């Protein structure tokens, strides 16, 4: 079998070097249509966070490449990472440098964009434990780095978050946040908000308890940690928590919606994308599937898994929660990106959250309150018939639910979802959301 090392390639227009030219119409449309606020001191040509901006739009206002000249793009240089596993991390760009983090062993490369061929400036090798490879559920991937204030932040498969000097590649701090011996890994891209590095864990398939933590970006000190299952005190649910729907209101639902003690191994990890609204001062993050997969072993809604939290970034205190798939029976998860957009709805501007969810529906939600405004299918669905907008609950098809010892056929979407982790993008010019979706169905037998 041929082994192929994954790399990156740069393309340039044949008529000249790249530039940071922007289009004034683009800038105006971006200001009017979204909350795509970039971190402070980030130039338009920079890409300092995995999702480009706090709103997770992944939109660039650079305008040198057009429909007319795109045919003239040519490869000008390539770079091999030397790692032949899934490359889910897009490069980030800051200080005229491209930073690329690889799958395990999570090497961080810095390439000099001011010189022909983008030569290597430095590389940082965190040397994660080799045993972490046996704990990762779904390849030994990494979904990216983040840059802020002269530092590059990455996560390693063996549960460390690291800060590296962007100019020299020197390790500034390294903090262990989880334990591979408990089934935990970290694969997500960190998000930096208000001087805090936000990180979540992976491993819902292995009986872990999901969490999100905030670290001081200068020192690595943990400022808060919020679990996504268990009692309110550990989920950081307090007086500010005001969910829109009745089923999410009540005390210690992260315990009572599970069989006794099951929440301690209930999953609900945070391995996807995080958004931030500076005006509301709220972060938005998804929570992954409950465990174990066999749903008969965990009757109840299994809160707070397969949903989305709005939290205060400085304290971690929850503001609201919504569950995409209560008692998730198909591993539909809930970690996809939340795209923050301001849209006119019924003649009124609304602060909304766009969510292409793995269960097959594109949700438009009020991101202030957590109310579902609409839920529209974007792929074939047989596992449900819609979302009840009065109650917020998914309307499930009983015939498609797993049964122990029986093969249930033609369940759509399949377990990877109508859209997996690979992110969508929003354009303020077209007012369209571009979704990399999958038309997949499955047969399922619980054992």
User: How far apart are alpha carbons 276 and 340 in whole angstroms?
Assistant: 8
Query: What percentage of the chain exceeds 70 in pLDDT?
Result: 91
Domain ranges of the chain: 6-445
Q: What is the 3-state secondary structure (H, E, C) of the chain?
A: CCCCCEEEEEEEECCCCCCCCECHHHHHHHHHHECCCCCCCCCCCCECCCCCCCCCCCCCCECCCCCCCHHHEEEEEEEEEEECCCCCCCCEEECCEEEEECCCCCCEEEEECCCCCCCEEEEECCCCCHHHHHCCCCCCCCCCCEEECCEEEEECCCCEEEEEECCCCCEEEEEECCCHHHCCECCCCCEEECCEEEEECECHHHCCECEEEEEECCCCCEEEEEECCCCHHHHCCCCCCCCCCHHHCCCCHHHHCCCCCHHHHCECCCCCCEEEECCCCEEEEECCCECCCCHHHCCCCCCCCCEEEEECCCCCCEEEEEECCCCCCCCCCCCCCCEEEEEEECCEEEEEEEEECCCCEEEEEECCCCCEEEEEECCCCCCEEEECCCCCCEEECHHHCCEECEEEEEECCCCCCCCCCCCCEEECCCCEEECCCCCCCEEEEEC
What is the residue whose two structure tokens read 């905030």?
214
For residues 182 and 185, what is the distance between their CA atoms, to the nearest angstrom?
9
Q: Which of 42-56, 168-182, 386-400 has the lowest mean pLDDT?
A: 42-56
Residue 64: its pLDDT value, please? 93
* pLDDT band, residue 8 (cuts 50/70/90): low
Quick: pLDDT tens for 203-252: 998 999 999 999 999 999 999 999 999 999 999 999 999 999 999 999 99
Q: Please enumerate in sequence order all residues whose Cβ is within 8 A of that of 272, keeping only pairs 6 or more positions apart, or say none.
A: 188, 200, 285, 286, 288, 335, 336, 337, 421
Catalytic residue set: 205, 289, 331
Token pair 């010892």 in the structure block, residue? 405
Query: What is the tens place of the pLDDT at every residue in 327-371?
Result: 999 999 999 999 999 999 999 999 999 999 999 999 999 999 999
- 73 has a pLDDT exceeding 90: yes
Instruction: Give residue-wise pLDDT tens across range 275-331.
Output: 999 999 999 999 999 999 899 999 999 999 999 999 999 999 999 999 999 999 999
Q: Of 23-27, 78-82, 119-123, 308-312, where does mean pLDDT reach its minimum?
A: 23-27
Phi and psi for 180 in degrees, rounded to 5? -65, -25
At 17 the pLDDT is 40
Pull the structure tokens for residue 172. 């500034």
CA torsion, points 177, 183, 185, 188, in degrees to nearest 10? Answer: -110
Provide CB contacts within 8 A for 41, sequence distance 6+. none
CB 247 within 8 A of CB 260: no
> Is residue 71 scored above 90 in pLDDT?
yes
Class assignment of domain 6-445?
mainly beta
Sign of CA dihedral 26, 28, 29, 34: positive
Contacts (Cβ under 8 Å, ≥6 apart) of 2: none
Q: Which residues of 75-108 are buried (b: 16+ CB within 10 A; e: fewer)?
A: ebeebebebebebbbbbbbbbebbbbbbbbbbbb
pTM assigned to the model? 0.93
């Amino acid at each position: 079998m041929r082994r192929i090392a994954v790399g990156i390639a740069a393309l340039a227009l044949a008529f000249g070097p790249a530039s940071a030219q922007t289009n004034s119409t683009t800038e105006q449309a971006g200001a009017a249509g979204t909350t795509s606020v970039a971190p402070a001191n980030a130039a338009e040509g920079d890409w300092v966070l995995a999702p480009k901006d706090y709103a997770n739009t992944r939109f660039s206002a650079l305008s040198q490449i057009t429909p007319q000249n795109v045919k003239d793009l040519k490869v000008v240089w390539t770079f091999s990472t030397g790692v032949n596993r899934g490359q889910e991390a897009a490069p980030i760009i800051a200080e005229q440098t491209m930073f690329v983090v690889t799958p395990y062993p999570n090497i961080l490369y810095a390439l000099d964009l001011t010189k022909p061929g983008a030569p290597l400036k430095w590389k940082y090798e965190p040397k994660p434990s080799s045993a972490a490879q046996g704990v990762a559920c779904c390849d030994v991937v990494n979904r990216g780095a983040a840059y802020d204030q002269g530092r590059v932040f990455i996560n390693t498969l063996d549960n460390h978050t690291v800060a590296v000097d962007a100019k020299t590649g020197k390790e500034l701090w390294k903090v262990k946040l989880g334990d591979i011996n408990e089934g935990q890994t970290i694969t997500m891209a960190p998000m930096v908000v208000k001087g805090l590095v936000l990180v979540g864990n992976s491993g819902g398939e292995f009986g872990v308890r999901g969490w999100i933590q905030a670290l001081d970006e200068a020192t690595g000190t943990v400022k808060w940690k919020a679990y996504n299952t268990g009692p309110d005190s550990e989920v950081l649910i307090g007086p500010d928590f005001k969910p829109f729907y009745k089923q999410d209101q009540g005390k210690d639902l992260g315990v009572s919606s599970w069989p006794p003690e099951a929440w301690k191994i209930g999953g609900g990890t945070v391995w996807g994308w995080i958004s931030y609204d500076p005006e509301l001062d709220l972060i938005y993050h998804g929570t992954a599937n409950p465990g174990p997969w066999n749903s008969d072993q965990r009757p109840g809604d299994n809160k707070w898994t397969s949903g989305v939290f709005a939290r205060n970034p400085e304290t971690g205190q929850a503001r609201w929660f919504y569950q995409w798939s209560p008692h998730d029976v198909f591993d539909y998860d809930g970690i996809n990106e939340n795209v923050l957009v301001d849209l006119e709805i019924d003649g009124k501007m609304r602060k909304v959250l766009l969510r292409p969810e793995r269960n097959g529906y594109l949700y438009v939600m009020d991101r202030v309150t957590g109310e579902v405004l609409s839920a529209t299918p974007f792929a074939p669905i047989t596992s449900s018939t819609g979302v009840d907008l009065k109650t917020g609950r998914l309307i499930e098809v009983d015939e498609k639910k797993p049964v122990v010892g029986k093969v249930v056929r033609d369940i759509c979407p399949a377990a990877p979802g109508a859209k997996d982790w690979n992110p969508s993008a929003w354009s303020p010019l077209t007012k369209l959301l571009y979704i990399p979706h999958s038309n997949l169905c499955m047969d399922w037998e619980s054992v």
